Structure 1
Amino acid sequence: MNHSYYQQKNILITGAAQGIGLGMAEAFARAGANVILTDMDAEAGQQALQRLKGLPAEFIPCDVSIESQVQELMRQVGEKYTCLDALINNAGIADPFQGQLQELSITDFDKIISVNLRGPLLCTKYALPLLQKASHPAILNITSTRAFMSEPDTFAYSASKGGLEALTHSLAISLGKDGIRVNAIAPGWIETGDWKKDSQKYEPRHSEEDKQQHPVGRVGQPQDIAEAALFLCSDKADFITGQSLTIDGGMTVKMIYS
């Protein structure tokens, strides 16, 4: 699609220092948007700015699970920009727990929920005054195919992403009166090795079996999510709200027999 729509638009992306978030930040910045990256990892944020050097991007550190930090983030954004044209709630942490349910620490569970689910709610709440000032405001939540299917022992992550799917349609109904559209993208297997900070970067290696799990014949890339995000946050998607788009190369619709 033609991305000229994004010239001088203001886009805030959480969890934007690495992975899918960084891929989206680069795509929006190349389309001409003013991109505000935020992330709790300040080191990764500074490295992200080096990658985006010469593009209209800035970094503000923030832990989206902490209300006071989200308030300060939005205060800083509001001081520089008259509005927000899009908020992309991408920040999330994977489930560190891989044990059985009876061994699950509620502290670990709460940590995942606080970032992956409470974070998007807080960001939306405090970004609302800035979104209301835009002509075609949009919110995009990045969920996961784990909202619909699970591997064993991923309780918190699956619950957080399922909750974010529900929050998406709830916000769409609630904020429609303000002219704000709210949608979600549910990524499947997206390879982010090349989109990590230096200390975590790795060379992606995928077996033929990995590729053939996907009907399209390959593992996903951050650019695959970024292209869909560019569409859903634009006026070309003006009649789309409360929806979730699964982007997984067809993996979740392929029957696999062991």
Structure 2
Amino acid sequence: MIELEVDRPLTSNGKVALVTGAARGIGLGVAAWLIVEGWQVVLADTERERGAKVAKVLGENAWFVAMDVSQESQVVEGVAQVLGQFGRLDALVNNAAIADPHNPPLDSLELAHWNRVMAVNLTGPLLLSKHCAPYLRAHYGAIINITSTRAHQAEADTEAYSASKGGLLALTHALAVSLGPDIRVNAVSPGWIDARDPSARRAAPLSDADHDQHPVGRVGGVEDVAAQVAWLLSASAGFVTGQEFVVDGGMTRKMIYA
């Protein structure tokens, strides 16, 4: 069951955002937040049935397009659909990813798994940026890459995911230099975000220990990431590009000794 809450009257700011991986989790949270702020949001995802249902729940300011971001032909077709429907594009949020950070131990890590993670998590944002750039440039738009604190620190057996997010962080500042001054490019690096559907969170709530280990006293929610993304897309962030914004409740600044 899909549960969303959009309880403020919606107005339009005339701008269009494309959010990938938007059928659930952080991507869905970002899409819902932007809609409340007046954006027309295109949700892109491989989950066709769920994506269409989510867009219907979000209302007339949401529109769904099926897309595997690792396939250039699908990216080209998806971007063409967006331009055909709305005639403009003002923002791209590269959120789609194979999100489970864990893979088999290094000695049994298959190259196919590595390549698939890289294709979705790193090549996908490159392809979207490449094909959206001409339209973003026309409106002095912005690109936000959703990276991860695992670009800086890791658990065991997370080589593919950590490397993909580290690469995406480097791609962020490379794109910022290449696409400026017409397009700003920034990265948001979430820490522990409880991105489960509300029903799953109610059925298996996180423990006090999970929350208390964070310097802010709680695990993050999708709205924490969405708020940061929305600010970076706003005129208030007009002097900000090529930067990383860590949204992790302070965990990467905490020294932890067992």
- Is TM more than 0.5 here? yes
Residue 158 of structure 1 is matched in structure 2 by: 162
Match of 2:157, as an amino acid?
D
Contact kept, 8 Å, 1:194 with 1:204, in 2: the verdict is no
Contact kept, 8 Å, 1:97 with 1:108, in 2: the verdict is no
CA distance in 1, matches of 2:241, 2:17: 18
The alignment yields a C-alpha RMSD, in angstroms, of 1.9
Residue 11 of structure 1 is matched in structure 2 by: 17
**In terms of mean alpha carbon deviation, does 75-84 or 231-240 score higher?**
75-84
| CA apart distance, 1:43 | 2.1
Q: 1:201–1:76: structure 2 CA closer, same or farther, 3 Å change rule?
A: farther
Residue 232 in structure 1 maps to residue 236 in structure 2: no
Contact kept, 8 Å, 1:184 with 1:243, in 2: the verdict is yes
Residue 191 in structure 1 maps to residue 194 in structure 2: yes
CA distance in 2, matches of 1:192, 1:57: 20
CA distance in 2, matches of 1:74, 1:236: 27
Q: 1:6–1:150: structure 2 CA closer, same or farther, 3 Å change rule?
A: farther
Report matched runs for 1:1-258 at 5 Å: 7-53=13-59, 55-95=60-100, 98-134=103-139, 136-177=140-181, 179-194=182-197, 203-258=203-258
Contact kept, 8 Å, 1:16 with 1:90, in 2: the verdict is yes
Structure 2 length as normaliser, TM-score? 0.92
Structure 1 length as normaliser, TM-score? 0.92
| CA apart distance, 1:81 | 2.2
Contact kept, 8 Å, 1:194 with 1:203, in 2: the verdict is no
Match of 1:38, as an amino acid?
A
* 1:19-77 CA-partner distances (Å, limit 9, x unpaired): 00000000111111110000011122023124313x40100000000010000001111
Contact kept, 8 Å, 1:193 with 1:203, in 2: the verdict is no
Moved over 3 A (4+): 95-98, 200-204
Structure 2 unaligned regions, length at least 5: 1-9
Structure 1 unaligned regions, length at least 5: none
CA distance in 2, matches of 1:90, 1:169: 17
Identity of aligned residues (%): 49
Contact kept, 8 Å, 2:17 with 2:93, in 1: the verdict is yes
CA distance in 1, matches of 2:185, 2:66: 24
Contact kept, 8 Å, 1:95 with 1:156, in 2: the verdict is no
* 1:136-176 CA-partner distances (Å, limit 9, x unpaired): 31000000011111010011000000000000000000001
CA distance in 1, matches of 2:100, 2:93: 21
Q: Name the SS of the counterpart of 1:193 in structure 2.
A: coil
CA distance in 2, matches of 1:50, 1:247: 29
